Amino acid sequence: MAETQDATVSPAPATLEPQPTPVQPTPAPVLERSNSSLSTAATSEANEVVIHQPIPQRPRLPSRKSSGPLVVPRDSSAVGPIEPHFGPDDVRAMSPRRTSEDIDKMGKEARKELRKHAQALQESLLTIFNRIEAVREEHDKLDSNNKFLQKYIGDLMSTSKITAPPSKGKK
């Protein structure tokens, strides 16, 4: 504690920047403790030396030149697309470029493949439809045969009851 009492704040060297005014810190609240800790807390607050840091200042921005008007006359050579120039070691210059003929050819091939695929799907759908129709016809045929057999069996049962001798009951 004796070391903090001897510490002094030396004045900052003279500079061109103005020195900021020091800000007084607010004292920290004293927590309630036993009697021995209260006495040491009170003496340490009275003996504190306050050292302030200078407030940093933002550097000034350099002056800028005007970019000029943004409107360009139509006759100007600056109007129009700019062709990019890539060096021989640039990856973009090494990649293959497609011409409009190549793109047209690729488009025609893609459309041709798409038509083939659509045709195959239509043929497959037609085959499935024909198979469904064949199964439906077979079902109708079997259903009519089933009804015929049920009627035939019913007729046989009724004729057998008529022609059968009367049954004698047990005595």
DSSP string, 106-146: HHHHHHHHHHHHHHHHHHHHHHHHHHHHHHHHHHHHHHHHH
Query: How much is the pLDDT for 131?
Result: 97
The per-residue pLDDT of the chain, averaged, comes to 75
Q: Is 137 inside any structural domain?
A: yes
Which of 1-10, 51-60, 107-116, 134-143 is the least confident region?
A: 1-10
The 10s digit of each residue's pLDDT in 33-75 is 445 544 554 555 556 677 777 888 887 877 777 777 667 777 7
Q: Count how many domains the chain has.
A: 1
Which of 5-14, 18-27, 80-89, 117-126 is the least confident region?
A: 5-14
Q: Which of 57, 70, 48 is nearest to 19 (CA)?
A: 57
Query: How much is the pLDDT for 90?
Result: 75
Our CA angle for 103, 108, 112, nearest 5°, is: 150
User: 11-48 as b/e, with b when 16 or more CB fall inside 10 Å?
Assistant: eeeeeeeeeeeeeeeeeeeeeeeeeeeeeeeeeeeeee
Look at residue 118 and tell me whether its pLDDT is greater than 90: yes
pTM over 0.85: no
Q: Is 40 inside any structural domain?
A: no
Q: Is 167 inside any structural domain?
A: no
Look at residue 103 and tell me whether its pLDDT is greater than 80: yes
Q: How many residues does this entry show for the chain?
A: 171
Q: Is 131 inside any structural domain?
A: yes
Alpha carbon distance 129, 121 (integer Å): 12
Query: Which residues constitute the domain of residue 117?
Result: 106-162
